Chain A
Amino acid sequence: EPEVTQTPSHQVTQMGQEVILRCVPISNHLYFYWYRQILGQKVEFLVSFYNNEISEKSEIFDDQFSVERPDGSNFTLKIRSTKLEDSAMYFCASSPGGYTDTQYFGPGTRLTVL
């Protein structure tokens, strides 16, 4: 069964450094998402991406964040200057269609900012 994959599984970085989290969505899916989950808290929406552009972003997704689909398979989340509070599990998800289609989540990347 196709699945969303994410790399790395765990990323440790120093405050102020840039990080890039990588995702390979399911191949025929059209919508791509990033969510994050701070330890012990709820899953929070960051951004959605459709037709090579951001379709929606949350208030969390400020100028420090950016997303890119550099080729036909990868979807990346970049954090330009990490803060301690960026430490969280970051999930990539993809869906074949709009909001009533199932969003399939990857296993997540645990980001630790020291």
Chain B
Amino acid sequence: QQQVKQSPQSLIVQKGGISIINCAYENTAFDYFPWYQQFPGKGPALLIAIRPDVSEKKEGRFTISFNKSAKQFSLHIMDSQPGDSATYFCAASGETSGSRLTFGEGTQLTVNP
């Protein structure tokens, strides 16, 4: 029940295209959903996060869409750039699960020039 499922495992997009990564969770006690970006040799870095009181959050080219009833959330990267090529992890946490982050399996995004 603590799992977060992420898809796809890898994604190849052309420059200027839209990248979409999906996640689903089971634990209804989760109420904080961050997305992390990880470049090779670096630790994960927070990209954007959402709470379930809103269905969408946008920061620049990055948007999280959240569907509470379906227990799903997704990351959309508009106008994808080669510099966006990285591994993306969704994660979840909740007050009752302490401050631990439960991560998805990760998506390797490649944006071709």
Contact = CB atoms under 8 A, between A and B. Distances in A.
B54 interface: no
A43 B51 contact: no
A107 B42 CA distance: 5
Contacts of B45: 104-105
Interface stretch (B14-22, B77-85, B87-95): B87-95
A72 interface: no
Contacts of A43: 44, 89, 101, 103, 106
Contact of A45 (B34, B36, B100): B100
- What size tier do the contact residues of chain B reach? 20 to 34
Contacts of B93: 99-100
A47 to B, nearest CB: 9
A100 B102 contact: no
Interface of B: 32, 34, 36, 41-46, 49, 51, 89, 93-95, 97-106
Given A56-B100, A106-B43, 17 more contacts: A4-B43, A31-B99, A43-B44, A43-B106, A45-B101, A48-B100, A50-B99, A56-B99, A98-B95, A99-B93, A99-B97, A99-B98, A99-B99, A100-B93, A102-B49, A103-B46, A105-B45
Question: 7 tightest A-B contacts by CB?
Answer: A105-B43, A56-B98, A99-B99, A45-B100, A43-B103, A99-B93, A102-B46
